[in-house]
Amino acid sequence: MSFSETSHRDPVSAMARSAAIEIIPLKSAEEKLLLAATDTKITITCSPKFGIARTMELSAYAVKHGYQVVPHLAARQVSGRQELQEIVCRLNDVGVSELFVIGGDATGESGAYPDSAALLDDLAELDHRLERIGVGCYPEGHPNIAEKALLEALRRKQVYADYMVSQLCFEADTILGWLRRMRSDGVKLPLRIGVAAPLSMRKLIELSVKIGVGSSVRFLSKQHGLVGNLILGGAYKPEELLEAFGEELQSPELGIEGVHLFSFNQVQAAVDWQKRIGQRP
């Protein structure tokens, strides 16, 4: 049976199998990522706490062990064009062919790039071997950036990018409504839906509040019974979000190409979910 036939019968199952798993470069990350099958796409975050160097180190480790790797690059952590050139050279040497570019949370004046679009302008002029570039998007908006500015940024970035990944969101209608607006406003980038791994509800709500997706947390709490789940230790089921998209999951006009799984380094839970949903009839 071909992939297209399987996808048509159960697109949720197909997306689960092909989901990229996001890993934070903590000390235990090397051991954690080896839990995933080598045909799994691994994305590695970049934050002020761990820095670009740690992201590059873990990316090289993952490539060495046979994984297709997508390092994140935070624009505000890059000091300028010279450092960007050095990063590109290292990616070329390691054999990385895909990059996910974000603005990043770094503050102050250490970086030359105020946002990811500015870095992408320079990256386009460098000699690199990147075949795909991803960028972030925010179906629920951004606490520090106006909606109009987010739209203009996506329009600017899609000149260089190949796809976009949505910030964590728990409500299909919110993502669909936002995506329809983006399509009508000229944003054509394929979307990879940002989905949380099947963590305990207590842990997931705690982490979600930290990264600023409060309205989604309220929806999640209402739908799943917050108090009961906190007491009983219930687990989030990512497939329910994908199933809520219905036929829209395969809509050519909406252009949803896959899933980005936020594992919060609970890699075994993410892998188990991929197997369980990916193998269902």
- Per-residue model confidence as pLDDT tens digits over 30-73: 999 999 999 999 999 998 888 999 999 999 999 999 999 999 99
Are the CB atoms for 58 and 30 separated by under 8 Å?
yes
Q: Alpha-carbon distance 271 to 225, whole Å? A: 26
Spell out the CATH class of 3-198+237-267. alpha beta
**Residues composing the chain:** 281
Output the pTM of the full model: 0.88
Counting Cβ atoms within 10 Å, is residue 164 exposed (0-12), middle (13-18) or buried (19+)? Answer: buried
- pLDDT tens for the chain, 281 residues long, are 333 444 457 999 999 999 999 999 988 999 999 999 999 999 999 988 889 999 999 999 999 999 999 999 999 999 999 999 999 999 999 999 999 999 987 555 557 899 999 999 999 999 899 999 999 999 988 888 899 999 999 999 999 999 999 998 889 999 999 999 999 999 999 999 999 988 877 776 666 555 444 444 444 444 444 444 444 457 789 999 999 999 999 999 999 999 999 998 889 999 999 999 998 87
- Residue 196 token pair: 């949380």
Run of H or E including 136: strand 132-137
Radius of gyration of the chain (CA): 18
Using DSSP's 3-state secondary structure scheme, residue 266 falls into coil
Are the CB atoms for 56 and 90 separated by under 8 Å?
yes
Using DSSP's 3-state secondary structure scheme, residue 166 falls into strand
CA atoms within 13 A on the CB side of 254: 18
Cite the DSSP H helix spans in 133-191: 147-157, 172-184
CATH 3.20.20.220 spans which residues of the chain? 3-198+237-267
Q: The dihedral of CA 19, 168, 150, 246: what is its sign?
A: positive
DSSP structural state of residue 86: H
Angle 268-273-279 from CA coordinates, rounded to 5°: 125
Identify which of 71, 67, 72 has the alpha carbon closest to the alpha carbon of residue 40.
67
DSSP structural state of residue 167: P
Q: Alpha-carbon distance 35 to 271, whole Å? A: 7
Kindly give, in sequence order, each residue whose CB lies less than 8 Å from that of residue 9, ignoring residues fewer than 6 positions away.
Answer: none
Are the CB atoms for 129 and 97 separated by under 8 Å?
yes
